[in-house]
Chains A and B, each alone.
Chain A
Amino acid sequence: MSRLLGPRFPVGKPNWPSSIPRPAVRRRTGVDYETDWARTHAARVARAMIVDDVLRPVLAVIASPTTHGEDRLVGLEGPAIFVANHHSHMDTSLLLTALPERFRHKAVVAAAADYFFTTRAKGAVSALAIGAIPMERTKVGRRSADLAAELLDDGWNLIMFPEGGRSPDGWGRAFRGGAAYLALRCGRPIVPLYIEGTGRLWRRGRTLPKIAGKGEGVHLVFGSPMSPGPGEDARRLSARVEQAVAALADEWSTDWWSARRRAAAGTTPVLTGPSAGAWRRSWALDANAASRSSRRAWP
């Protein structure tokens, strides 16, 4: 193809004979992007300044964030895996700025290798600003899991969005097992979190965020740290974490006691919404939002 479009040899590149094996080219983007430099002391200081002095004030202006349930983290020491639902690019910044200080400045974010690390420049910005590490999400790969496990063992906290990407329609998606796998592999607790409202301000597909009006601020609810039960496998743990996030969502939209009762009865509304046609899902989403906001679902 290149021979047809570009300048021909010797001005252009020669063809590679198909009978000669190509030497392995070391990719330096995607999951192969090296992020070690972003965890050096200098980079961490720079990131602390970006998070505390840039992201936090910007978020305060555009999203008026409020956190709930931080007291559930009292007594939690050392590295943990923070897991949340995912609606918006704002989620990572929100989480990073809202985490208690003992976690915030030693945290890495599992970011999609096929989105944040497609070029070296994007990778560098992501790694520096939010401490992103590349995570394979389109295929099963050992490299990103090994890196995350190594960092957890090394005392770094890990932020993950196990839905594997931002919500396409406002409802959540089923959790993937990566966080649970890492929790089991490294013996670290998972802290479930529920993020509310970021999709309203900066949903997928929107170029720039809206500025939150009065009463439209975003909310972050911390859940209690969860450890794998005896004999529990990653699939079960992951399902339990998903239920915990759903219970936090329920707690947010109703109250703690009602949510606990529904959780005990196994009737917590699922994050993924009703399995119905698109309009009914969208309709149900509006009805759900109406319980906490004055926005009308119908003119």
Chain B
Amino acid sequence: MSRPGFVLDVDRSTPPILFHHGEGFRLEKLPAGSRVVYPAEPISPLADPGGAIRHALLNPVGDSQPLPSLLRPGMKLTIAMDNQAVPLPPMQRPDNRQRVLEIVLDMAAAAGVDDVHLIVAHGLHRRQTEAELRHMVGDRIYDAFAPHGLLTQHDAEDHDNLLLVGKTAEGEHVELNKRAVTSDLLIYVNVNLVAMDGGHKSTMTGLTSYRGLKHHHNVTGMQRSRSFMDPPSSELHNSVWRQGQVLADAVKIFQIETTVNTDTFPSPFAFLQKREWEWSARDRASYLATAKSLEHVPPRIARSIFHGIKSPQKMTSVQAGEVEAVHRLTLENVHRQHLVPVQGQADVLTMGLPYVGPYNVNSILNPLLVMCLGLGYFFNLYRGKPLVRKGGVVIMSHPTRWEFHPVHHPSYIDFFEQVLAETTDPLEIEKKFEEDFATDPWYIHLYRNSYAYHGVHAFYMWYWGAHALQHVGQVIIVGGEPRAVRRMGFKPASTLRDALEMAEDVVGRNPSITHIHNPPIFLADVT
């Protein structure tokens, strides 16, 4: 039985609290009176995931027939799936997608469906390597489909293979992968890591183009999404839902959504998600050995060690059928794992940022991604109101090196060097620079043929933090490289104590402090 999340009131007896710090850790003594939000322990996984998947496919929710009755010989079937951005870190084999796909394909084989095409719905993310695809779908599916060109990755710049399905009442374009929308049945398989994922967002971000995305991936939309982890209060999701309904009228969609628990790190790193006062002698020894050895290891090596970690998270639910009905159940299951009630906001919010976010699997968490992870994701892990008050301070802990992966994030380099040198105001950035980056032929070439994120993706990272930038008074990064931190308009600090002193200049003396304990992730229900 897993214990629920809770809020710890720090007193003098509280041990130092673990902060993630990129490819390392820090133990920080928080001032007495601070609060620490501890996530719930991992909930029990499904005892028989295969049986649960079959049950879900045979007993769909909403207005949908069981999957086998939707399959017939001679039909055109497309199965789209989430990309490697979820779950984080990548889960140990077999991935949820592999489990679901094998059973779906078994049913398709039994129904005699020949024309089957698998598409990785990565939107404007980078293409995945063969190893990454194999990890997601398993060797059996990869070997059966990829050599015949039947396992492909969505290309948002292949205009011959995009189709404008229609427009919403608000004039939003619904443009998607042609193969997917001209199929007799589109099956979507997702891994719903956080409450933001899934539902219509799966198809409307994964299989669309820049033209479809810009209606919701924009500064105004993000500033009105409070938060985007709470779909009913998210302008992003409202727009996506409108587009999704247009698609649902045009194509028969069978959505299969899965959730995972928060068992994030395997045994050598299991101490990361334990409550500090429960660390055994072995945990302490592991922490010391890991933290000390990482101090002497070059970042490149440390990164490769961490990116080699495959998380032991397990499937906790699976539901299938009509998109919206499925997603309602999925959100309940995500909340069952993630929700932690928190009362009141704080003057200062502290967080330790890890080495990985959704956009740097097997890559570098560059300064832009640090901003996106801290102010985009962690800040938005709330329902109701933010954990920090308006005008408060966010303190993040991360090395924030001026370092980019030249293959994966080429446009980020130029964004950081050119755009942020001029302004950090998201609205101005959007107005002045977005179009040029989005239509730059070199970025488009790299996105289509190399392993690069799309030219406009760097902008979305900045927009992701737009709500936080508007809300907070100051952002401080502890242990960050000063010039990289300053380029983003934030303040560098060497220690947490320094950062807290600097924060007092903004929020006054003796501020209230809330710390987000990570890993694992959670969703604060702030009242």
Contact = CB atoms under 8 A, between A and B. Distances in A.
Interface of A: 68-69, 71, 74-75, 224, 251, 255-258, 260-261, 263-265
B94 A71 contact: yes
Given A69-B140, A251-B140, A255-B143, A260 B94 contact: no
A71 B92 CA distance: 10
B109 A255 contact: no
Nearest to B314: A75
B49 interface: yes
A77 to B, nearest CB: 10
A260 B49 contact: no
B112 A255 contact: no
Contacts of A68: 139-140
B49 A75 contact: yes
25 contacts: A68-B139, A68-B140, A69-B139, A69-B140, A71-B93, A71-B94, A71-B138, A74-B93, A251-B140, A255-B140, A255-B143, A255-B144, A255-B147, A256-B141, A256-B144, A257-B109, A257-B116, A257-B144, A257-B145, A258-B144, A260-B106, A261-B109, A261-B114, A264-B109, A265-B112
Given A74-B94, A255-B140, A260-B106, 18 more contacts: A71-B94, A71-B138, A75-B49, A224-B50, A255-B143, A255-B144, A256-B140, A256-B141, A256-B143, A257-B109, A257-B116, A257-B144, A257-B145, A258-B144, A260-B105, A263-B109, A264-B109, A264-B110
Contacts of B110: 264
Interface string B74-108: 00000000000000000001100010000001100
Contact of A264 (B112, B116, B139): B112
B104 to A, nearest CB: 11
A260 B116 CA distance: 13
Contact of B141 (A74, A257, A265): A257
Contacts of B93: 71, 74
Nearest to B150: A257
B79 to A, nearest CB: 12
A34 B112 CA distance: 52
Contacts of B50: 224
Contacts of B48: 75
Contacts of A263: 109
The binding surface of chain A is classed by DSSP as: helix
A71 B110 CA distance: 23
Contacts of A71: 93-94, 98, 138
Nearest to A221: B140
A256 B147 CA distance: 12
B428 to A, nearest CB: 50
A263 B140 CA distance: 15
Most buried by B among A257, A261, A263: A257
A191 to B, nearest CB: 14
B142 to A, nearest CB: 9
Contacts of A258: 144
A266 B110 CA distance: 10
Contacts of B106: 260, 264
Nearest to A262: B109
Nearest to A68: B139
A251 B112 CA distance: 17
B185 to A, nearest CB: 17
A138 B69 CA distance: 48
Contacts of B109: 257, 260-261, 263-264
Given A71-B138, A264-B110, A265-B112, A257 B49 contact: no
A164 to B, nearest CB: 30
A265 B73 CA distance: 12
A251 B102 CA distance: 13
B8 to A, nearest CB: 35
A74 B141 CA distance: 17
Contacts of A255: 140, 143-144, 147
A24 B93 CA distance: 57
Interface string B44-60: 00001110000000000
Interface string B107-141: 00111101010000000000000000000001111
Contacts of A260: 105-106, 109
A69 B143 CA distance: 12
Contacts of A74: 93-94
A264 B108 CA distance: 9
A80 to B, nearest CB: 15
A292 to B, nearest CB: 12
A68 B93 CA distance: 13
Interface string B153-194: 000000000000000000000000000000000000000000
A69 B106 CA distance: 16
Contacts of B112: 261, 264-265
A251 B143 CA distance: 10
Contacts of B147: 255
A129 B48 CA distance: 35
B418 to A, nearest CB: 46
Nearest to B116: A257
B95 to A, nearest CB: 9
A71 B112 CA distance: 26
A74 B48 CA distance: 11
A267 to B, nearest CB: 11
A111 B109 CA distance: 37
Nearest to A255: B144
A229 to B, nearest CB: 14
A68 B145 CA distance: 17
B296 to A, nearest CB: 32
Contacts of A264: 106, 109-112
Nearest to A265: B112
A74 B99 CA distance: 11
CB-CB nearest 10 A-B residue pairs: A257-B144, A256-B140, A255-B144, A260-B109, A264-B110, A264-B109, A256-B144, A261-B109, A71-B94, A71-B93
A264 B110 CA distance: 5
Most buried by B among A224, A260, A265: A260
A261 B145 CA distance: 13
A251 B109 CA distance: 13
B105 A257 contact: yes
Nearest to A261: B109
A119 B181 CA distance: 70
A170 B144 CA distance: 26
A136 to B, nearest CB: 36
Contacts of B140: 68-69, 251, 255-256
